[in-house]
Structure 1
Amino acid sequence: SFEEALQKAIRMLQVGMYGLVGNENYSFKNLEKELAYPTDERLFGIAEAFKKGWSVEKAASLTKIDPWFLHKMKGLVELEKKIRQFSLENLPLEILKEAKKKGFSDKQIAIFIQATESEVREKRKKLKLTPAVKQIDTLAAEYPAKTNYLYLTYCGAEDDVRFRPSQKKIMVLGSGPYSIGSSVEFDWCGVNTVLTLRKLGFQTIMVNYNPETVSTDYDMCDRLYFDELSLERVLDIYEKEKPAGVIISMGGQVPNNLALKLHQAGMRVLGTSPESIDRAEDRHKFSKLLDELGIDQPPWKEVTSLDEAIKFCNEVGYPVIIRPSYVLSGAAMSLVFEENYLEQYLKKASLVSPEHPVVISKFIVGAKEIELEAVASKGKIVASAIIEHIENAGVHSGDATMVVPPQKLYIETIRRVRIIGEKIARALKITGPFNLQLLAKDNELKVIECNLRASRSLPFVSKVSRLPFIELAVRAMLGLPVSNSRSIFELNYVGVKAPQFSFSRLKGADPRLGVEMASTGEVACLGDDAHEALLKAMLAAGYKLPEKSIMISLGGEENKQKFLAAAKELAKTGLTIYATEGTSKFLKRHGLQTQMLYKIHQPRQPNLRDFLVEKKIDFLISIPHTGKPAEFDSDYRMRRLAIDLGLPVITNLQLAEAFVAALRARRLDDLKIKPWSEYD
C-alpha cells in the first residue's frame, strides 16, 4: 500500500522518525508557511495540520499535492487517533492488522498504547500476525519474476520464496542511506564481506535499501532484502531465514546501534559480542574500562542540565566539545570556547538524541589526531594500520586529510598506540574490525573513542596497504584460522586520503572545517613520498594549484606566528602573495613583502572583492581565529565568495603548511602517473 511504503520510506531515512505520525519532539511555529514552501520537514507539517483538523482541500491548495495522496496521509492520522483509544490488552486484532498494513511499526503502535516495542511484537506474534516476503516484480507483470530482490509486507497472504535453515547461510546488515558521515565506504565493506563469504562457501543474505549501492545489485548476494534496517524488520527476516548468524559490523553506525537489542532478542551476532560493543559505545562503561587498563582519556561528563554543564566547564576550563550520544558523522557536535555560547550548543545537541544525555569533553588545543585501524581475532590483533591526520584535533575524522603510513610520528608514539590497541582488543575480546581514535600532545596519548566496527577509513588503508582487512575480519568472525605477515611500515610509498566537499552547492555554507562532518566524498592517491601523494590527492579532490597568485588571511596572532615559516617558503615559489591588512603588516615586519588588500566589508581600495571577482587570485588560504566561534563575519564573506567563484580554499593551518611544503617540493610536472600495481 502507499501508506506502508510511505511510512517505511520515512523510517529508512534514519533521521529519528518513526513514520508519518508518532514522532516525538516535533512542533511547527507556522504551519501555513511549512506547507506552502517545500522543505525536508513538510511531510510532518502535513500530518500536524491534519491533527489540528485541517481539510484535505486546504492542505492541497497550499502544498499543490494531489488530494489522493493527502487523503491517504489523513487516513494515517485518523488511524493513530483510533489506536490511541486502546491499551495493549484490548487492542482489537482488526485494528492491529489495519495498522500493520498501513505501515505502522511496532514502535509507533507501542507509543500510541503506552506499551513497549517488544510487548507489541509479542502480542502480534501470538495473534499470528507476521509479514509476508514478496519478490519485487522486475518484469512489469508480463512474466513471472524470479528475482532475489525481496521485501516484507503485511499486504500479502503468503511468501513468494521458500526458507531452509542452514549453517552455511549468513545474514549481513548494510549501511542504509547515503548521507554525510555514512557513504560508499561502508557499502565497500559490506560488498567485500559478501564476496568473502561466497568464496568461503556460504549463502549470503544482504539487508539494505539504498538503490545507489553495489550491495543492492541483483548478482551480489543470494538474497537481497530491500527493506528497513530496524530492530523489528531485521528480526522478521532472521526468524524466516534462520541463518547461522548475522554480521553487523560492516555497515557503519546504523546496524551497530542495533547490536545489543538484536542479541537480547535471541539473534546470533557474529564477531565481537554485543555486550563488548555496548561497553565501547557507552561512555561510562568505556571510561571505566580505560581507567582499569591505565589508559589516559580527556576529562568528560554526561550532563542533563545547563547548571551541570557550566560547573563542569569551569572545572576543566574551555574549550570543550559537546556531543550527543550514539551518533555518526559528528552530528550536532560543537566546539565551545566560552560560556556565552554553551546554552545554544547544548540545545542543539539534545534535539538530535533526546533519549541520551549530552556528553561534554575537554578539548585539547594543538593535539595531533591518530587512528588505529585493526582486525582482531579473539582479542588478539592480526592486522593493523596507523593513520596520521594532517589537521590537528578539532577537524572531524571524516573531513581530515589522512596519511598512511604515518610520516611525522615518533617511533615511541607508534609503539604506544599499538600497545593501547592491544590492551583494548584483549579487554573487549574483539573479533572483527575496530577503529581506535587517539590524541597525541607533548608525548602523551589520550584515547577519544573506540568503534567496534568497520570505519570509513578501512577501505583506504586496505587499498594502500594491500592488506585484506575485510577478508581477515570475516574469517575471524567465522572462527576460521587468521594470519597476516605483511606490515604497513614496509611500504615504499605513501597514501594520502583527501576529503571532497560540496560547499559550492550548499548556498551560504561556510567552508570552515570543524567537529561536525561536512565532506560528501573522498579521494585517495599514492606517491613516492608524502608531498607527491598530497598534491595528487588535492588535485583529485578538485583543487587547482596556484599558477600566478595566492591570497593569505590569518586570524589571530598565534596563527600568524605558526604560519610564518610556511609563508617564507611560499615566497620562494615566485607566486604573487596577496594578504589582508593585519596579515600583510605582520609578514612585512618579518621581512616578507605582500600586496595588501582591504577586506570585503571595508569601502577602501585595493579591495579583496574586486581581486576575487576579476580572477586575479588563484588560491585562498583563510585560517580563522582559533579561539573564536564560527561567525558570519568579513572572513566568512571572503571564503564564501571564493567558493562561489570556484576558487580553491584551505581553512586549516596544518593543511596549509603541508600544502605549501608540497608545493615547494614538487612541481605539477614532477607528479608521476603510475598504475597501482607499480607501487610496491
Structure 2
Amino acid sequence: MHTGESIVVAPSQTLSDNEYQMLRSASLKIIRALDIRGGCNIQFALNQRTGRYVVIEVNPRLSRSSALAYKATGYPIARVAAKIAAGYSLDEIDNAVTKTTPASFEPALDYVVVKIPRWPFDKMPEAARVIGTQMKSTGEVMAIGRTFEEALQKAVRSLEIKRSGLELDAKTDWKDRKVLLKLLREPTDKRLFAVYAAIQLGLTNEEIAAASKINKWFIEKIRLVFETEAEVKKAGVKVLGDRELMLRAKRKGFSDKQIAAIVGVKEEEVALARKKLSVKPVYKMVDTCAAEFEASTPYYYSTYESEEESVPDKRKKVIVLGSGPIRIGQGIEFDYCCCHAAFALREAGVQSIMVNNNPETISTDFDASDKLYFEPLTFEDVMAVVEHEQPDGVIVQFGGQTSINLAERLHDAGVKILGTQIEGIDLAEDRERFRELLKELKIPQPANGTARKPEEALRIAEEITYPVVVRPSYVIAGRAMQIVYDAEELDKYIHEAVDVSENKPVLIDKYIEEAVECEVDAVTDSSRMFIAGIMEHIERAGVHSGDASCVVPPITLSKEAQATIVDYSNRISKALDNIGAINVQFAVQNGVVFVIEANPRGSRTMPYLSKVTGFQIVKLATKVLLGETLDSLSVPKEIPVQKYFAVKSPIFPFIKLPGTDIALGPEMKSTGESMGIDLDFGRAYYKALLGAGMNIFTKGRVALTLNPADKKYAAEIAREFHELGFELYATDGTAAAIGEAAPVRILSKVSEGKDNIVDMIRAREIDMVVNTPTKGKRSFTDGFKIRRAAIESGVPIITTLEAARGIISAVKAKKRADFTVEPLTDYYKREKF
C-alpha cells in the first residue's frame, strides 16, 4: 500500500517498546552509514508475529511523510533541515515551539493523530476504487484527539464526504455478508466503513482481521465506537439529559450531528442539551514535548477534558476559515488565499486565527497565523472555536465552497461574517434567484430553468432545446455537471447522477456552442470595483474553468466585449452588495456577452492572477473586509494590462486513475496547474505546457481523429502541422475531411484488427494525438480507447481544437527558441500595453 494511500496514526499504537527501539536503532544506523545531513525518510515493513523487518526504501530528503510528521508533532523538520544545510548542528538550533529546548530533543506526544487520504472517486466514479502501490488520493486530512477513537471520528468528518463520523452510506448493501467480506479483503476507500459495518453485522475481531489484515487493536477501538453508538441508541432522547453518557460519546469523537441522527432529533437540540449539561470542548496545545517544558506555540486541538490551554486575549481578532482537504475543484489555490488573508490581518494589527484540518498546507503551519486550531470544518467545530475566541468577525471568502457553506448557519447563530452578507451570497449561489437578478439587470444569460421533478427537467430541456448543461445547485468544480444532447441522455442523468427533489433542484442551461469563455477576479468596496484582469480561456465554453487553459491579457476578445464584461461585473457586484473578493464568468458568442455565474468569494484563479499582475488581490480584499477602501489603498481604477502574456495550464491525474476518460467537459478533473510567462502567447503557452509535464515535439508523427462536428476544421489543423514538418496520420473520416490540404496516411480504426491507431500509439509510433471526443456518450468508444492508450503510453494527447491551435503556436515558439528568461518582478517593470 502506497504511504499516501494509507490511514496513518501517530504515535504508533501497536508497536511494542522493543519493536519501536529496534526500528529506531536501525534508522540511526542507516542514517550514519549514508552520512545523511538533514531530512530523511525511511520506510519499514515489520512482521509482528516473527519480529522480522525489512527496509522498503530510504529517501534522503523531506517527503510527504515529513509534512505530516511536522503537523503531527509540531517539530518543523524542513526548518531544521535548512539550518543543518547552512552548517548548524542540532544542538545549536532552537526548538521553534518551546523556545528553550534544542532541536536535538525528539518530540513526544500526549495525544493521538490520525491522517486519512481524500480520494477523488466522487468526481471520477468510473475510476477503479482499488487502492495499492499507485497513489490515487488528491489530498488528506489530519485530526488530533486524546484517544484514537476521538481522532478517527474527527478525521472522518473532516473529509467532507457527507459523513459526520463512522456512519454508513445508503448506497452500499452493508448487510450482505459477501459484499462486506469483499470490501474487507479488497483495499478501497470504503474499507474503514466496512470494518464498522462488519462489527454491526456481528463479525468478530478475528474474522475482520483475517479478511482485512488490519491489526486487531484498531478493530477493537472501532468496536468501542460502535458500542458507544449502541448505548446512545438505547438511551434515545434520554441522552440529552445524561451528562455521563453525553461526555462519553463526545470523548469517542461523536459529533452533535451524529448523536442527533442516532436518537432522531435535530442537531441544534443536541447542541443545546450538551451545553446545558456543561459538556463543552477545551483546547489543548501541540507543544512537541508532552507538556514536559513550557511552550508558547499557538497551535491547538479540541478534546473533552477539564483543563483549558488556549487563553483568548483581548486584541481585535478575526477567524479565517480554511478550505479543508485538497480535492478536485478545491485545491491549494484556496490555501494561498487563506494564508494571504492571515498575512494581511497581521499586517493590519489584527490577530489572525486559522481553522483548518489539512496537514499539507501552509495555512496549518503554526506560524502562518497568530493562532491555529486544527479542527474539522463543520458548523459544530467552527462554532466551538467562535464561542471560545469571541472574534470580531469571521472570513468565509477564501476557503472555497467549504467555508461558504458554513456562512448561513454561522450568521443565523449571530456570528459576524465579514464582507458580502448572506443575502448576497445566497442571491449568487441560488441559480433561480440569480437568473431573476440578471433579468432585472437586463444582462444576457443562457436560456435556463430549474427542475424539481424528472418530467419537469425533460420539459424545460425541450423548451430551451438541446444541447443543455445540467447540474445540481450549490456545488463547486461542476460536481455532477454534464452536457446532454438528447432526452435519453437527460433521463439517464436524472435517474443515475443526481437525486431530483424539491430540496435538490437540477439546473438546466442552454449550452452555448462555439463560444469563448472568460472570467474576471475583482475586489469591491462599498463604492467601486477593481478588476485585476480578464482571463480568456483557450478551450471553448463547455470545458470547466478549472480544466481550461487561460491567458492574460485576452488574445481574441474585442475591446467592446471587454468593456461589456467590465460593465456587467460592476452591475452584478453592486446588485449583490459585494464587499471583498468576487469572480464572474462569461461566455462570448458572436459578439454577445452572456453571464454564466458569479461567485462572491475568492477563486482558484486569484493566485495565478496575483502572480501575473503583481497585485496582491487577496491582501487588498482582506483590507477591504476590515473597512478600508480601494481609494485609501491607492488601487488603480483601470484594469492593469501587461505587455507580456501569462498562460495557466491544468495538470490532470489520469495516469493514476485507470478507467477514467480524459475528455474534458463541465465537470472539473484537474488537480493542479502550471504557469508560463513570456512576451508572446506562443512562448508563454509552451512554458506552461512544459511546466504541466507535456513534452512538445517540433517534429514527428501526429495522429488526427476528429468528431463529425470538428471535421470542418481538419484541413486547417492538418495544414498547420504539415507546414511545421510533422508527418500526418488520420482515421479515414478525418483523412477525407483533410482532403488535399496536406499529405496524410490513413490509420485503421480500433475495430479493424491489428496495427490500428491504438496499437501504433502503444508502440510509440505516434508522437502526438489530436482526438476530439464524439459529443454525448463516450464510455468505451474507439475515442475513449485512443485517449486511454495515449495517456498510458505517455504520448501527448489533445482533446480540443483550441488546444491544438495553442500547441501549434507553442511549437512555432519552440522552433524560434527566443524565450525570455527573467525574474517575475522584472516583468512587472515592463511598460504596459
Identify the TM-score tier after normalising by the shorter chain.
over 0.9
1:677 corresponds to which letter in structure 2? T
SS of 2:664's equivalent?
coil
1:601 Cα deviation after fit = 3.2
SS of 2:817's equivalent?
helix
1:115 aligns with 2:265: yes
414-423 vs 63-72, greater mean Cα deviation: 63-72
| In structure 2, distance between residues paired with 1:14 and 1:601 | 43
- Residue matched to 1:314: 462
Whether the aligned pair in 2 keeps the contact of 1:379 and 1:430 (CA below 8 Å) is no
- Residue matched to 2:709: 558
- Residue matched to 1:41: 190
- Please point out which of 510, 527, 549 is paired with 2:700: 549
1:395 Cα deviation after fit = 0.8
- Residue matched to 1:585: 736
Whether the aligned pair in 2 keeps the contact of 1:136 and 1:151 (CA below 8 Å) is yes
Whether the aligned pair in 2 keeps the contact of 1:56 and 1:70 (CA below 8 Å) is yes
| In structure 1, distance between residues paired with 2:608 and 2:760 | 39
Whether the aligned pair in 1 keeps the contact of 2:532 and 2:609 (CA below 8 Å) is no
SS of 1:84's equivalent?
helix
| In structure 2, distance between residues paired with 1:213 and 1:118 | 32
- Please point out which of 254, 265, 280 is paired with 1:104: 254
- Please point out which of 450, 464, 470 is paired with 2:598: 450
- Over 3 Å counting, the alpha-carbon distance change for 1:137 and 1:179 in structure 2 is same
- Residue matched to 2:96: none
- Over 3 Å counting, the alpha-carbon distance change for 1:352 and 1:674 in structure 2 is farther
TM-score w.r.t. length of structure 1: 0.95
| In structure 1, distance between residues paired with 2:289 and 2:206 | 37
1:203 Cα deviation after fit = 1.3
| In structure 2, distance between residues paired with 1:305 and 1:311 | 10
| In structure 2, distance between residues paired with 1:320 and 1:45 | 39
- Over 3 Å counting, the alpha-carbon distance change for 1:465 and 1:585 in structure 2 is same
| In structure 2, distance between residues paired with 1:424 and 1:672 | 39
| In structure 2, distance between residues paired with 1:22 and 1:115 | 19
Residue by residue, what CA displacement relative to the aligned partner does 1:148-176 show, whole Å, maximum 9, x if unpaired?
1101111x21111212243x211111111
Whether the aligned pair in 1 keeps the contact of 2:452 and 2:502 (CA below 8 Å) is no
SS of 1:435's equivalent?
strand
Q: RMSD of the alignment, in Å?
A: 2.1
SS of 1:495's equivalent?
strand
- Residue matched to 1:612: 761
- Please point out which of 347, 352, 357 is paired with 2:505: 357
Matches within 5 A, 1:385-534: 385-483=533-631, 484-485=635-636, 487-534=638-685
2:454 corresponds to which letter in structure 1? L
| In structure 1, distance between residues paired with 2:455 and 2:806 | 42
| In structure 2, distance between residues paired with 1:379 and 1:19 | 45
1:611 corresponds to which letter in structure 2? M
Residue by residue, what CA displacement relative to the aligned partner does 1:480-537 show, whole Å, maximum 9, x if unpaired?
1323127445311111100011212222322211111111110111111111111111
| In structure 2, distance between residues paired with 1:335 and 1:292 | 27
| In structure 1, distance between residues paired with 2:506 and 2:190 | 24
1:2 aligns with 2:2: no
Whether the aligned pair in 2 keeps the contact of 1:337 and 1:628 (CA below 8 Å) is yes
- Over 3 Å counting, the alpha-carbon distance change for 1:535 and 1:582 in structure 2 is same
SS of 1:124's equivalent?
helix
- Residue matched to 2:346: 198
77-86 vs 344-353, greater mean Cα deviation: 344-353
Residue by residue, what CA displacement relative to the aligned partner does 1:215-243 show, whole Å, maximum 9, x if unpaired?
11122111110111111111100111111
Whether the aligned pair in 2 keeps the contact of 1:106 and 1:117 (CA below 8 Å) is yes
Segments of structure 1 that go 5 or more residues without pairing to the other structure are none
Residue by residue, what CA displacement relative to the aligned partner does 1:9-33 show, whole Å, maximum 9, x if unpaired?
0111111111102655554462121
| In structure 2, distance between residues paired with 1:78 and 1:212 | 33
| In structure 2, distance between residues paired with 1:668 and 1:520 | 31
670-679 vs 401-410, greater mean Cα deviation: 670-679
2:273 corresponds to which letter in structure 1? K
1:13 corresponds to which letter in structure 2? L
569-578 vs 662-671, greater mean Cα deviation: 662-671
Matches within 5 A, 1:33-182: 33-88=182-237, 91=240, 92-139=242-289, 142-154=292-304, 156-166=305-315, 168-182=316-330
Whether the aligned pair in 2 keeps the contact of 1:379 and 1:429 (CA below 8 Å) is no
| In structure 2, distance between residues paired with 1:379 and 1:633 | 54
| In structure 1, distance between residues paired with 2:795 and 2:741 | 28
1:90 Cα deviation after fit = 6.0
| In structure 2, distance between residues paired with 1:411 and 1:520 | 33
Whether the aligned pair in 2 keeps the contact of 1:298 and 1:363 (CA below 8 Å) is yes
TM-score w.r.t. length of structure 2: 0.78
2:622 corresponds to which letter in structure 1? V
- Residue matched to 1:241: 389
- Over 3 Å counting, the alpha-carbon distance change for 1:153 and 1:649 in structure 2 is same
2:610 corresponds to which letter in structure 1? S
| In structure 1, distance between residues paired with 2:230 and 2:506 | 33
72-81 vs 110-119, greater mean Cα deviation: 72-81
- Residue matched to 2:726: 575
- Residue matched to 1:187: 335
| In structure 2, distance between residues paired with 1:464 and 1:245 | 31
- Residue matched to 2:750: 600
1:214 corresponds to which letter in structure 2? I
| In structure 2, distance between residues paired with 1:384 and 1:583 | 42
2:192 corresponds to which letter in structure 1? L
| In structure 2, distance between residues paired with 1:558 and 1:48 | 50
1:387 Cα deviation after fit = 1.0
| In structure 1, distance between residues paired with 2:223 and 2:448 | 46
| In structure 2, distance between residues paired with 1:298 and 1:437 | 12
Whether the aligned pair in 1 keeps the contact of 2:478 and 2:666 (CA below 8 Å) is yes
- Over 3 Å counting, the alpha-carbon distance change for 1:488 and 1:342 in structure 2 is same
Whether the aligned pair in 2 keeps the contact of 1:331 and 1:517 (CA below 8 Å) is yes
| In structure 2, distance between residues paired with 1:662 and 1:163 | 55
Whether the aligned pair in 1 keeps the contact of 2:454 and 2:500 (CA below 8 Å) is no
| In structure 1, distance between residues paired with 2:816 and 2:699 | 14
| In structure 2, distance between residues paired with 1:374 and 1:215 | 23
| In structure 2, distance between residues paired with 1:109 and 1:285 | 35
Segments of structure 2 that go 5 or more residues without pairing to the other structure are 1-146
Whether the aligned pair in 2 keeps the contact of 1:624 and 1:635 (CA below 8 Å) is yes
1:138 Cα deviation after fit = 1.5
SS of 2:618's equivalent?
helix
| In structure 2, distance between residues paired with 1:488 and 1:495 | 16
1:357 Cα deviation after fit = 2.6
| In structure 1, distance between residues paired with 2:494 and 2:486 | 13
1:538 corresponds to which letter in structure 2? L
Residue by residue, what CA displacement relative to the aligned partner does 1:57-97 show, whole Å, maximum 9, x if unpaired?
32222112122222222232333233234454663222211
1:665 Cα deviation after fit = 5.3
- Residue matched to 1:676: 824
238-247 vs 344-353, greater mean Cα deviation: 344-353
1:112 corresponds to which letter in structure 2? I
| In structure 1, distance between residues paired with 2:460 and 2:500 | 22
| In structure 2, distance between residues paired with 1:31 and 1:341 | 33
SS of 1:350's equivalent?
coil
Matches within 5 A, 1:270-285: 270-285=418-433
| In structure 1, distance between residues paired with 2:263 and 2:516 | 51
| In structure 2, distance between residues paired with 1:137 and 1:302 | 52
1:213 corresponds to which letter in structure 2? T
SS of 1:601's equivalent?
helix
